[in-house]
Structure 1
Amino acid sequence: MRIRVVGVGMGPQHVTAEAAEAIRSCDYVIAASKNDADGLLAVRRSIAASYGVEVVAVPDPPRERDDPADYPGAVRDWHAARVAAYDTVLRERGGTAGFLVWGDPSTYDSTIRIVESLGIDFDVVPGISAPQLLAARHRIVLHGVGQPVHVTTARRLQDDVAAGQTNLVVMLSRTLDLTGLDDWSIWWGANLGTDSEELLAGRIADVVDSLEPARERARDAAGWVMDVCLLRAPA
């Protein structure tokens, strides 16, 4: 058996030549199915079909999402349940299985950790990441000349700002606490690279009231929403 972890960016238009060849080499693709109207599963089916590869949908185990007291523990339990579900399919089918990762597998994605736990030989093909596309859409560089950019999650945002971070890419933002950041600048995008894409930029105090309506428009249009932003302190 073999596994190929393939980054596919934000949809078929972002599949690189290397990723396309990797998908063609698979006997099938394994994909989590969250519900009957899973829009991200539909995108994965579309990508796989373009290369003549079957998708095996695996019901995604439930996960506690409402800010559990032990967030790392909740994620570990969820990952363990995913490993067990995928292992069953892999042992039954054998061959070469593909996992199509939204964006790039290197950043805030669990696929590599899960695949490592399966104990099966695997390789990784990179994809276009959300921060890359955010920068392209807003025609910006993510950092100042010779300066760093801090990549974090919305859950950690306020702690990271308190620790002195002044230039942050923020991902996994189911909620975005921008308290105390009125004079900061934001470059924000949701469902980047898709027909439901939404973009906003400006001084936070000037655009904050528009963020949630834009998020909901993206969710209503696609059935799901993923957003990312760059936050920068005033010079």
Structure 2
Amino acid sequence: MRKIYVIGIGAGDPDHLTLQAAKAIGRTDVFFLLDKGEAKDSMIELRRRLMKAYAKPSRRIAEAADPSRDRAPQDYEGTVADWRHRRSAVTEALISEHLMDGETGSFLVWGDPSLYDSTIAILDEILTRGQTLFEYEVIPGISSVSALAAKHKIGLNRVGQPFQVTTGRRLAEGWPEGVPDVVVMLDAQQAFTAHPEAEIHWGAYVGTPDEILRSGQVSEVADEILKTRAAARAQHGWIMDTYLLRRPD
């Protein structure tokens, strides 16, 4: 039986790699990489650095282009489902062609595989089709949410209070009821600007050499964050940012 690891590699700092993840990388025969284009070369480069540091010399790399998708669709859930289906076909072809019986393959996943990542769902879809068989194991990683809280030296929740992790699209529909603290990811529209009374702890490229951190009351720092975010996106061609939005007591 072929085996696949889904390995969380952290938010961008090579030191985020856990001992469990390093050992799994060392047992891997084939690494699967989905190339997102030149704009995200730095994301691929971190994976290559980790392979060089921890993988065995005989390891192989199997690459394919990541299918594109509309980033501002009218039917968001339908668009994502279609993209995942196309991605699963590319992934299945990689596994079928490059992973031999008895070998171990790995996907090196940015952050933690359980948080806003599609790899687990894609592998499940492949197994459901029943044409390509393997077993897989998930290795947790340090998420951008954990890294953000550490960098700002804050807790994600207040005493006895819940917090919620959501997307910018959901926040734009309204603040979640009964939740004083909201962690927001994937916010292309910067929905935090609708909450000037809140406190924000914002970070982009957290854990990488390009890390940017800002915090304060939204009414006071929103303009700076918007300008900083736009400039960083223009410079790098992509941006990965996360923030904690906290309502006053």
- Give the alignment's TM-score, normalised by structure 1: 0.93
List alignment gaps of at least 5 residues for structure 2.
Answer: 128-133
Partner residue of 1:79 out of 59, 81, 84: 84
Rate the CA distance shift 1:86–1:194 in 2: closer, same or farther, 3 A: same
In structure 1, the residue matched to 2:239 is 225
Matches of residues 1-235 of structure 1 in structure 2 within 5 Å? Answer: 1-11=2-12, 12-39=14-41, 40-52=43-55, 53-66=59-72, 68-94=73-99, 95-119=103-127, 120-161=134-175, 163-219=177-233, 222-235=236-249
Q: Do the aligned residues in 2 keep the contact of 1:196 with 1:221 (CA within 8 Å)? A: no
Secondary structure of residue in 1 paired with 2:49: helix
Which secondary structure state, in structure 1, belongs to the residue aligned with residue 238 of structure 2? Answer: coil
Q: Which range moved further: 106-115 or 207-216?
A: 207-216
TM-score by length of 2: 0.88
Q: How far apart, in 2, do the equivalents of 1:114 and 1:197 lie?
A: 30
Paired with 1:191 and 1:170, the residues of 2 have a C-alpha distance of 15
Distance 1:56 1:218 in 2: 31
**Is 2:162–2:180's contact at 8 Å kept on the other side of the alignment?**
no
Aligned residues: 234
Q: How far 1:99 sits from its partner (Å)?
A: 0.5
Matched AA of 1:112: I
Q: Map Cα deviations across residues 74-122 of structure 1 (whole Å, 9 max, x no partner).
A: 1111111111111111111222110111000111111110111121310
Offset from partner CA, 1:169-202 (integer Å, 9 cap, x none):
0011122123441111000000000010000000
Identity %: 41
For 1:125-168, what per-residue CA distance to the aligned partner results, in whole angstroms no more than 9, with x for missing partners? 00001111111111111111011001100010033416453310
1:14 is aligned with what amino acid?
A: H
Give the alignment's Cα RMSD to 1 decimal: 1.7
One-letter identity of the residue aligned with 1:51: Y
Once residues 90 and 207 of structure 1 are traced to their aligned partners in structure 2, the CA distance between those partners, rounded to angstroms, is 46
CA distance in 2, matches of 1:81, 1:110: 12
